[in-house]
Structure 1
Amino acid sequence: MSGEARGTVDLRETVACVTGGTGGLGLPIALALAKAGARVAILGRQRERLERAVAQVRAVQPESLGVAADVSDPVSLVEAHATIRRTLGPVTVLVNAAGGNRPDATTGPEQSFFALDPAALDAVVRVNLLGTIWACQVFGQDMVEVGQGSIVNIASVAAIRPLTRVVAYSAAKAGVVNFTQWLATYLAREYSPAIRVNAVVPGFFLTEQNRFLLTDPAAPDGLSARGRSVLAHTPQGRFGTPDDLCGAVLWLVSPAAQFVTGTVVTVDGGFLSDAGV
């Protein structure tokens, strides 16, 4: 979707919340929502990063808000929701962009699966899967109250095709896809068919969470062996950019996707379509 096409999405009178809104993908999504007219509340754990991020969003949409919150802490989400509701009103667009991986939850030549730290595995599952579920519990109630809304969960190609090394991350994101489909059915049947839940499956986007896996500053091309392998199996031959993802998210939260729920939209440059032969 081009910049001009995205500009036709009108989200005025909409309150949107983006978890992980200070991240490499969450912040561009928040900015795209703000450019479409939404009043955006971004959630983030680190206050300094949050302040910088919300300043960018307010430059586009002054009626926006930054709230310190940790999606792996349900109480934190409840408190953030109260602040957003009191300041901006009920949330009818929720983008769950919070997530990430950890080196100590990742296998490799020097780290066996059998030696992975249970606390690291737990942390990855909590932020990626349980954080998504808890955010939907907290903010989804606003959508039930008004009878409409759109939730977009950010998953990963690792959810569809388990990738080597990222054991906890792959399992957690697979759970996000399964939960997305479950929640879409539950909300439509139990409350309102105008409440939609979808997932976006990004391919390989070069962000802080995966830079250690995909890059090697000492290599002539700046890529690790894994990074080269990824590009070799991506028909478009490049990593994704945040702009690639924003178009899909804006479509899913817009009236143009009003008959779309329980769907998994892949934005991966063809990675999942490549059989490697």
Structure 2
Amino acid sequence: MDNSIKGKTVVITGAGGVLCSEFARHIASLGGKVALLNRTFSKVEKIAEELTLAGYIAKPYQVDVLDKATLKSVHEQVKKDLGPCDILINGAGGNQSEAITAVEYHELDIDEEIRSFFNLTQDAVQGVFNLNFIGTFLPTQEFVSDMVGRDGCCVLNVSSMSSYHPLTKVLGYSAAKAAVNNLTEWLAVHFSHVGIRVNALAPGFFATEQNKALLFDDEGNYTPRSKKIIGSTPMGRFGVPKDLLGTVEYLIDSEASGFVTGVVIPVDGGFNAYSGV
């Protein structure tokens, strides 16, 4: 089956990350012209070199998704290099330990020295919220202007399993990703009359180099929190990046999903469907 991605300009924020770099490789292999946006330039520079050597079209750009002026400048450069944006993937995001409580439950005898709900700082929680929510809003505001009134254009946001059911400890990130889901639905309705689809992907729990230390101990065994995750995942394993590629391709291919907008699709091994009993 032919895809509608070939020849399209696909802008990916957070393209230096584990998941989004795999998105970029897959989309490039489908014939998309990939603009790799990332705060750390060396990461996307390396990926662009790899894709170019393989015969694909890819360009790296350094940008902080919270810097509106730089986003505007990069947008103009992308248009010069690759043409107007047809597809935007908002993959930039992340968490920080200061926005996470040290314990799952607040108890009467809790140690006052640990990071509890009451001593999470505004800066930490706001920083995580801004990165994930405002870091989705601003690139959308910048690049979607290219799409208005053009056929086959869409936005794909990257949400999280914590957007459905907030994870214990993970306050700031869970709230931000829930807001991304809401934004996805709002944007889908708002742009429905000008031909722009907006959807989101909600990955479950993925084992990558970035979170390896959190999921496995020094002997390679599951940590206690990992055991809880696997116990709540009917398919009984962590995801790997390639598990996401089919859903990404489907949602950005207007030939395959041209009547799909305003949805958030979980790719989670059944985690979201499982009640625990």
Note whether the superposition's TM-score is higher than 0.5. yes
Structure 1: gaps of 5 or more residues: none
- Hey, what's the Cα distance between the residues in 1 that align with 2:199 and 2:44? 26
Instruction: Give the corresponding residue for 1:177.
Output: 181
Change (3 A) 1:232 1:138: same
Change (3 A) 1:207 1:169: farther
**Equivalent of 1:33 in 24, 27, 31:** 27
**Equivalent of 1:127 in 127, 131, 136:** 131
Q: Is the 8 A contact 1:150 1:197 kept in 2?
A: yes
- Hey, what's the Cα distance between the residues in 2 that align with 1:170 and 1:137? 23
Q: Is the 8 A contact 1:151 1:253 kept in 2?
A: yes
1:34, distance to aligned residue in structure 2 (A): 0.3
Percent identity between the two aligned chains: 38
Deviations 1:29-58 (A, max 9, x none): 011110110000010111221211222232
Deviations 1:196-229 (A, max 9, x none): 0001110001235544543332xx4432211111
- Hey, what's the Cα distance between the residues in 1 that align with 2:132 and 2:175? 10
- Hey, what's the Cα distance between the residues in 2 that align with 1:61 and 1:76? 29
- Hey, what's the Cα distance between the residues in 1 that align with 2:53 and 2:247? 23
Instruction: Give the corresponding residue for 1:155.
Output: 159
**Equivalent of 1:59 in 53, 64, 81:** 53
- Hey, what's the Cα distance between the residues in 2 that align with 1:205 and 1:239? 5
Instruction: Give the corresponding residue for 1:45.
Output: 39
- Hey, what's the Cα distance between the residues in 2 that align with 1:207 and 1:103? 18
1:77, distance to aligned residue in structure 2 (A): 1.3
Q: Is the 8 A contact 1:54 1:65 kept in 2?
A: yes
The structure that has the greater radius of gyration is 2
Q: Is the 8 A contact 2:4 2:152 kept in 1?
A: no
Q: Give the 3-state SS of the residue equivalent to 2:200 in structure 1.
A: strand
- Hey, what's the Cα distance between the residues in 1 that align with 2:210 and 2:136? 17
Instruction: Give the corresponding residue for 2:18.
Output: 24
Instruction: Give the corresponding residue for 1:228.
Output: 227
Instruction: Give the corresponding residue for 2:121.
Output: 117
Instruction: Give the corresponding residue for 2:241.
Output: 242
- Hey, what's the Cα distance between the residues in 1 that align with 2:207 and 2:65? 23
AA aligned opposite 1:102: Q
Q: What's the Cα RMSD here?
A: 1.6
1:115, distance to aligned residue in structure 2 (A): 1.2
Instruction: Give the corresponding residue for 2:9.
Output: 15
Q: Give the 3-state SS of the residue equivalent to 1:54 in structure 2.
A: helix
| 2:216 counterpart of 1:215 | yes
TM-score (norm 2): 0.91
Q: Give the 3-state SS of the residue equivalent to 2:148 in structure 1.
A: helix
Instruction: Give the corresponding residue for 2:250.
Output: 251
How many residue pairs align between the two structures? 266
Instruction: Give the corresponding residue for 1:164.
Output: 168
- Hey, what's the Cα distance between the residues in 1 that align with 2:162 and 2:14? 19
AA aligned opposite 1:238: R
Q: Is the 8 A contact 1:184 1:262 kept in 2?
A: yes
Change (3 A) 1:89 1:151: same
Q: Is the 8 A contact 1:101 1:209 kept in 2?
A: no
- Hey, what's the Cα distance between the residues in 2 that align with 1:52 and 1:222? 32
